[in-house]
Amino acid sequence: MIIALAARLLPGPRTIDDAYITFRYAQNLLAGNGLVYNPGEAVLGTTTPIYALLMAGLGLFTGGSQAPFPTLALLVNALADGLTCWL
């Protein structure tokens, strides 16, 4: 489990483009625009809507719509890696 956490945390965020789409959905949700990419366009374009909701939930406690989403994702993914190894 320690190796899994270290492998995820030591290199720092390695965020790919699709993640920023999810972050934007979370950001707009926190800004009061709903779960949308662009305000006023009711289109679901994220491949991970539950993860977007998780990021928005964490964003409530870490800066709202200006939350550090790449860092939050890194921590959530490290936790998931650690739990996977533990199971």
Q: Which domain holds residue 18?
A: 2-86
For residue 5 the two structure tokens come to: 């956490």
Q: Cβ contacts of residue 76 below 8 Å, gap of 6+?
A: 54, 55, 58
Q: Residue 6's pLDDT is what?
A: 79
Averaged pLDDT for residues 47-55? 96
> How far is it, in rounded angstroms, from Cα 66 to Cα 82?
27
Q: Residue 50's pLDDT is what?
A: 96
pLDDT per residue as tens digits for the range 24-36 = 999 999 999 999 9
pTM: 0.82
